[in-house]
Amino acid sequence: MSNLEILAVLVNVLGVWLTARRTAWCWPVNVVAVLLYVWIFYDVKLYSDMLLQVLFAFLQGYGWWRWHTGRMDQGKVRVERLPAKLALLSLVIGALLSLLLGTAMAHFTDAAVPWLDATLTGYSLVASYWAARKFVASWWLWIVLDAVYTGLYYYKALPLTAALYAGFIGLAIYGLRAWQRDLAQQPAQPGTLEPSL
């Protein structure tokens, strides 16, 4: 456990909490958090995760823009339901990204766990896209991903980061419930997918 890991954990917790509160300041805070983890993941040879953090920095800008151009309710972004067709398309794209990245990492790097790391990266991009579009279903995907990430980081001797991701599961459940409450007050749209907790 390093000072850099401690700082990254603290900034990440703040970013996820701001996201769950639907505050647009979550996006710049999350940029700082992901950039800190670029170095951490390089050191432990989780190269797909390192690449993901770089991509996350750009996705944070997209998310910030989407949230600022979206509809607002009482100073907070208005959440939306995930259309079923977009859900299926996104999951297929996540699988293709995972396959391509896993193949590259397995054949061209000394990545520690290339296939698992690549799969988590592919679907994290999907979850980030869904979050930027304000889809409540993004929290469901984050819950699953964070559970797997927790085990991976524990395996890679990053106990503080593993604890952070275990905590992210709780924050994701909080975010899911908060967004579902807000969504329940909005009229339903046909052809959307939002399971309840």
- Look at 49-53, 124-128, 131-135, 157-161 and tell me which has the smallest mean pLDDT: 131-135
Q: Is the dihedral of CA 133, 128, 186, 71 positive or negative?
A: negative
d(CA 2, CA 17): 23
Give a yes or no: residue 36 inside a domain.
yes
Give a yes or no: residue 37 inside a domain.
yes
On the question of pLDDT at 102 being above 80, the answer is: yes
Domain count, the chain: 1
Give residue 127's domain range: 3-190
Q: Find all residues with CB under 8 Å of 96, minimum gap 6, and list them.
A: 122
Give a yes or no: residue 170 inside a domain.
yes
Backbone angles phi, psi at 76, to 5 degrees: -120, 150
Cα atoms found within 13 Å of the Cα of residue 49, Cβ hemisphere only: 26
d(CA 40, CA 122): 19
On the question of pLDDT at 76 being above 80, the answer is: no
Give a yes or no: residue 82 inside a domain.
yes
On the question of pLDDT at 78 being above 50, the answer is: yes
Give a yes or no: residue 105 inside a domain.
yes
On the 0-12 / 13-18 / 19+ scale of CB atoms within 10 A, 45 is middle
pLDDT of residue 77: 66
Give a yes or no: residue 195 inside a domain.
no
**184 pLDDT band (50/70/90 cuts)?**
confident
